[in-house]
Structure 1
Amino acid sequence: MKGCKFVKKHLTLMLTCIMTILLVACSTEDKATEVEPAPEAVEQKSPKDIKIGFSMDTLQEDRWFKDRDLFLKTAKAAGVEVEVTVANGDDVKQIWQTEKMISEGIDVLVVVPHNAESMAAIVERAHDAGIKVLSYDRLVRNAEVDLYLSYDNEQVGILQATAMTEMVPKGNYVYLGGADTDYNAHLMKQGVFKVLKPYIEKGDITVVFDQWTKDWIPDVAKKNMETALEVNHQKINAVIAGNDATAGAAIEALEAYNLAGSIPVAGQDADLAGVQRIVAGTQNLTMYKSINDLSERAVELAIKLALGEDIQEDRTINNGKINVPSILLPPVPVDQTNIRETVIADGFHQEDDVYNQ
């Protein structure tokens, strides 16, 4: 009997151990199959949470007022906050202004550089702060710019020169370029001379004067044109200018010799004064680059950059350091035949302002 009791006692102990093991195993299995609580969703930014820093070089030309106002109008419609700074052609001031915006916590930087080279440091500072950079209309050089939006500036020069060689296939040409610090000016010149090269090689066209215009200042362009007229004894047959302000300055110099209207002049930007001169017959051509399209697209792309959304670029342009993803809009030549269909139809200028001077 004692043996039976001993066996029974040990069997009970063994069953208890087995049950304990099974209970622990089930408990462990249940814990293993429990679904971990989902982490809290990261709140996504919306356009209304975004602040854009818009660093502008200048408001000296008529077109830049339009850029600023249309940019602000488009941003307001999208519910986006914008801080605008204007450097007035001062490199140090523009760097200080952009550094301040970066330190104050903008979400994306849109920059129109005065000096394409010196703004490279700002791109690096923005990236250090996790801020992406959109180069607006003018390309920042030697920096890892996130996106470049502009018009096809080489095509501007190609269209200028093509129109002028159709009017003046032979003769002495004056080229008044833009600011040497503006990479767009180099692209335009590249386009102009791409067209002129075969004419020059054949001896049909001679470029008798070729000079940059410091900071796009019209008085500098006027002095350059005066020099060109003096050293060539007024034997000039065509003038290609970097923009309408420099074209207007060239025409002022021509007026002193009673040559305005008899020598074809090409500009760009479709400034009101430039279009009025086309109507008057003293300027023959300007290049229209819809500021509406440019500013609206800039706001759209700035928002996408700030939100980290994908952007489909048209091409890349090498800025000396990287091949920058770029979106380039097509320019449109404007002369006496299509003013109403272009700048007036788009609301860029009013008909009364253009024709009733």
Structure 2
Amino acid sequence: MLKVLHKNSQVCILFLIMLLFNSACTNQVADEPNKADRIKLVSDDGKPYIGFVLDTLKEERWYKDKALFEEKVVQMGGQVKTLAANGLDDIQIKQAELLIQEGADVLVVVPHNAEISGKIVEMAHKAGVKVISYDRLIKNSKVDYYISFDNEKVGELQASEVVKKVSKGNFAYIGGAESDNNAVLFREGAMKVIQPLIDKGDIKIVYDQYTDEWKPETAQENMQSALQQNSNQIDAVIAANDGTAGGVINALSSAGLSGNIPVSGQDAELMGVKRIVEGTQTMTVYKPITLLAEKVAEVAVKAAKGEKVATDRTVNNGEIDVPSILLDPIAVTKNNIKDTVIKDGYLTEEELYKK
């Protein structure tokens, strides 16, 4: 009798599993969410629900953005859910779809791929959800708002600080991921400073390469190639962020050149600013993330409530002139660390100067 019951129980469990599996499969092939079939799954109904879709949490700075953004949304009476795709486009699209299905009023997206992320905007708009492009611009789409820093200015600051150190010779450019529109803008900004010196014959760009996925190890390989191709005769390096700068400096160190060649950076990451203190990195660009995260949170909650959002310019993304807010970046060198990142509480003296 017990054996029969046990066997019947197994059959029932198997039947339930099959039902769940079939249901899951049906959901996977369902049409994209539309306004009619969205269900609010989060708590505190009535509060604006903001979905934060991050590219990655593999880099130090994005933890800061996440914490600051979430805190400000809650402070303004909203609720927020953050998902990170860690550099996988298909996952990022699925995460956006999930947040739309859960009833998000607004999606805030840090796109991994500027082109592919247009799919998120299309899905969201079909469901009546607005999309804010955070820090990086989503290309070729009708994205509602773009809030970032002046990224051409970032590149100008990088090149300007390097040129203050070395204004003649062989330069290498180690960019970010070409799929990230910001990386393209950084290079354009840097070339505004460098091109006149190239035209004069003072500077020669002997190596110019984007860095797939922004990976420091790829930047290191690129810098090793630059050194090999030029018999170590590199006089300066413009690196697009602190991660790529770290890879560049590792390559320079292996060649016995670390500290002798100016190297730019960006993001004011702890390790980048520590390298400035040590003298192996020339500068970084501080983009006060508190200002960015809080401004985006304010816009997101306003948009969720249907309130008017004031912008100060537009940026063309290949499809439309996107209403935009662009904040000012700040160059950080050894001379102004205390007046910038430390003064703002972004980094501490103990973190930077402890032995």
TM-score, normalising length: structure 2: 0.86
Q: Does 1:98 align with 2:110?
A: no
The structure with the larger Rg is: 1
Q: Which residue of 1 aligns with 2:315?
A: 317
Q: How does 1:151-166 map to 2 (within 5 A)?
A: 151-166=149-164
- Determine the C-alpha separation between the residues in 2 that align with 1:346 and 1:48: 35
RMSD: 1.2
Instruction: Give the drift of 1:48.
Output: 6.3
Q: 1:227 aligns with which of 225, 228, 252?
A: 225
Q: Partner letter of residue 76 of structure 1?
A: V
CA contact (8 A) 1:48 1:81 kept: no
Count of aligned positions:
312
Instruction: Give the drift of 1:278.
Output: 0.3
Q: How does 1:202-221 map to 2 (within 5 A)?
A: 202-221=200-219
- Determine the C-alpha separation between the residues in 2 that align with 1:165 and 1:219: 26
Q: Does 1:174 align with 2:169?
A: no
Instruction: Give the drift of 1:79.
Output: 2.5
Q: Which residue of 2 aligns with 1:12?
A: none
CA contact (8 A) 2:76 2:301 kept: no
**Deviation sequence 1:25-50 (CA, Å, 0-9, x none):** xxxxxxxxxxxxxxxxxxxxx99610
Tell me whether 74-83 or 192-201 shows the greater mean CA deviation: 74-83
Indicate the SS of the match to 2:247.
Answer: helix
Q: Partner letter of residue 144 of structure 2?
A: D
For structure 2, list consecutive stretches of 5 or more residues without a partner in the other structure.
1-43
- Determine the C-alpha separation between the residues in 2 that align with 1:257 and 1:314: 47
CA contact (8 A) 2:332 2:340 kept: yes
- Determine the C-alpha separation between the residues in 2 that align with 1:162 and 1:353: 27
Instruction: Give the drift of 1:76.
Output: 2.2
- Determine the C-alpha separation between the residues in 2 that align with 1:126 and 1:199: 46
Instruction: Give the drift of 1:164.
Output: 1.4
Q: Which residue of 1 aligns with 2:107?
A: 109
- Determine the C-alpha separation between the residues in 2 that align with 1:356 and 1:74: 31
Q: How does 1:134-283 map to 2 (within 5 A)?
A: 134-283=132-281
CA contact (8 A) 1:47 1:78 kept: no
Amino-acid identity (%): 53
Q: Which residue of 1 aligns with 2:340?
A: 342
CA contact (8 A) 2:236 2:263 kept: yes
CA contact (8 A) 2:124 2:131 kept: yes
- Determine the C-alpha separation between the residues in 1 that align with 2:273 and 2:45: 37
Instruction: Give the drift of 1:128.
Output: 1.1
Q: Partner letter of residue 194 of structure 2?
A: L
CA contact (8 A) 1:48 1:79 kept: no
- Determine the C-alpha separation between the residues in 1 that align with 2:45 and 2:256: 56
Instruction: Give the drift of 1:111.
Output: 0.1
Q: Partner letter of residue 192 of structure 2?
A: K
Q: 1:49 aligns with which of 47, 50, 66?
A: 47
TM-score, normalising length: structure 1: 0.86
CA contact (8 A) 2:167 2:203 kept: yes
Q: Does 1:300 align with 2:303?
A: no
